[in-house]
Amino acid sequence: MIDADTSLDIATLREGYRAGSFTPREVLDLILARIEAQPERHVWIRRLAADELYAYADALAGREVDELPLYGVPFAIKDNIDLAGVPTTAACPEFAYLPERSATVVQRLIDAGAIPLGKTNLDQFATGLVGVRSPYGACRNAFDPEYVSGGSSSGSAVAVATGVASFSLGTDTAGSGRVPAGFNNLVGHKPTRGRLSTRGVLPACRSLDCVSIFALTAADADAVYRAAAAFDPEDAYSRGSQRPVLGRPIGARFRFGVPRAEQLEFFGNTAYETAFAAAVRRLEELGGEAVEIDFELFRETARLLYEGPWVAERYVAIEDFIEAKPEALHPVTRQITLGGAKPSAAAAFKAEYRRMELQRESEVVWQSLEVIVTPSAGTHYRIDEVEADPVALNSNLGYYTNFMNLLDLSATAVPAGMLDGGLPFGITLFAPAFRDAGLLALAERFQARENAKLGATGQPLATATGRVESVEDDVIQVAVCGAHMTGLPLNYQLTERGGWLVQTTHSAPVYRLYALSTAWPPPRPGMVRVAEGGAEIEVEVWAVPTARFGDFVVGIPAPLGFGRLELADGSLVEGFICEPYAVGDAEDITAYGGWRAYLNQH
């Protein structure tokens, strides 16, 4: 039987499912009870009924927990993303249509074992950063209902923050996957454009749109990202995985950019200013070196989004509908969208030329930095304040977000403390495209450190129903050389235990690497220390909480085991080793330099 206060973070659910402590049906019953007990925050546009939910749970019968990375994990879907058989409204009832197919990203998550709960409220047609532009009601903040929840992915964020979904999908064109995360104490990951398919997503700005992820922890966001990310041939803007061409990997020591003091904008909110300075210090405690940067090129790029011709994409997305039924739109949404009919083709090309010039200028920044940090938003407004001045205050909330997709960046919002008034504060870490894994790993390190600090005062990092393991220095460093590496099938065994990537490096040149024979499926590498003829082998070093190290090691099958592995710098860490008897008929793949390189050739 499930406890009433059970957290919905993925690690807790998987642990409970494995132990037989509860079933997916019981988790759904708990969620339904929580929803009924909560005050109305205008989170949902269409919740699935109990029998619809049970059908998804029953479809998991006969499947093993470890067979599906998101087995029985409940999630919410922003209502501009299709779920088969459920109307998509984009918060405009007269626009609604009934999709026969789920969006690619939704279907991938369901195939991974996740259970959709329903469709969530949003700023109409995903136009806004406030969460109040909806005929279904202003979605209220999870911590203080007088304050905005952030938009446009408002309902998706609040569903997770109030403990009724493990994670949720939003969209992020101009900050809609990060501002709501900051306002509701969540991790919000805006992936590299195209890594999560947008087929089945109603466009806002089709060339810029991203499907985003809200979660209680960075480890959860990472697990969802890995299940959802894939090349989709049905999406013209889809992109496969590739090696980053800009920036450097985020290691145990890293350089991070911070806007110059005069370029930081908090709109008079001194509490946010103080909280951001404290977050910068905590990044330094994690091994970061803060470097002041000129933020102006990012700000100029941001102005192109709404002051330039890209607003025309919002008009194109619903052109026929808005021309036929302009009265059906929220007044602010109508004003912004109709403005998109005005820019000329000449203006579009001029803006695109300038965008490319700014993107080339930004490349210089990444030659010396691994990551940049800003507040997720510069301040937080009450609902009545936004309704009194809807355009200007909404624009203020995009100060640190509007440039991201125009410059092809990846970004992760992460909680960074609670303010005296009981509202959360958050920061955003961003880097070039295809740096998603590194950002999420750094976010996880930051979140663990932040939780350890807040835990001493009794202040929560997540909401009352969202648990984050408190780990600081009580970790064991583990070197992995095979399927546990980032992006490979068994990496979840590290992330779900709260592990984070410390560095990608090489072993000392005293090992040989073998592809073990079919006697030990699935295919795996074996590293054997040799007296001569050794080479450097690529490894990743992960930090694993000491409390979770034992149950990780016990699951490692023979002929592999754990021992002291020597790194290129001469240091020793725990690592995978292989018993020599197992390599007698195995292929010697040392010349490849590592398992990942070997897989790329086979």
User: 19 by DSSP, 3-state: which?
Assistant: helix
Query: How far is residue 453's CA from residue 472's CA, in Å, rounded to a whole number?
Result: 9
Query: How far is residue 266's CA from residue 129's CA, in Å, rounded to a whole number?
Result: 16
**Are 330 and 133 a contacting pair, CB within 8 Å?**
yes
Query: How far is residue 445's CA from residue 436's CA, in Å, rounded to a whole number?
Result: 14
Which helix (H) or strand (E) segment holds residue 432: the answer is strand 424-432
Q: In what order do the strands lie in the sheet with 167-171?
A: 44-47, 115-120, 74-78, 167-171, 211-215, 187-190, 409-418, 424-432, 371-375, 254-259, 288-293
Q: Which residue blocks in 287-339 are alpha helix, DSSP H?
A: 296-307, 311-317, 319-324, 331-338
Q: Alpha carbon of 230 to those of 85, 158, 442: distances in Å?
A: 24, 27, 22
Query: How far is residue 206's CA from residue 208's CA, in Å, rounded to a whole number?
Result: 5
Helix axes 270-285, 436-455, angle to 10 degrees: 110
Going by C-alpha positions, the residue among 161, 150, 155, 159 that lies closest to residue 187 is 161
The identity of residue 342, as a single letter, is K
The identity of residue 395, as a single letter, is S
Residues annotated as catalytic are 78, 152, 176
> Would you state the structure tokens that stand for residue 31, as one six-digit string?
């969620």
User: 321 by DSSP, 3-state: which?
Assistant: helix
**Residue 292: Cβ-neighbour burial (10 angstroms; 0-12, 13-18, 19+):** exposed
Which helix (H) or strand (E) segment holds residue 426: the answer is strand 424-432
**Are 249 and 259 a contacting pair, CB within 8 Å?**
no
Phi, psi (rounded to 5 degrees) for 77: -130, 125
Any idea of the CA torsion for 565, 567, 572, 575, to the nearest 10 degrees?
Answer: -30
Q: Alpha carbon of 418 to those of 182, 208, 516, 523: distances in Å?
A: 11, 32, 50, 46
> Would you state the structure tokens that stand for residue 322, as one six-digit string?
């808005």
Q: Alpha carbon of 547 to those of 407, 471, 474, 476, 499: distances in Å?
A: 41, 9, 8, 9, 11
Within 8 A by CB and 6+ apart from 330, the residues are 91, 92, 124, 133, 134, 135
Q: Alpha carbon of 320 to those of 283, 316, 325, 400: distances in Å?
A: 48, 8, 9, 33
**Are 478 and 573 a contacting pair, CB within 8 Å?**
yes
User: 239 by DSSP, 3-state: which?
Assistant: coil
Q: CB count, 10 Å around CB of 597?
A: 13
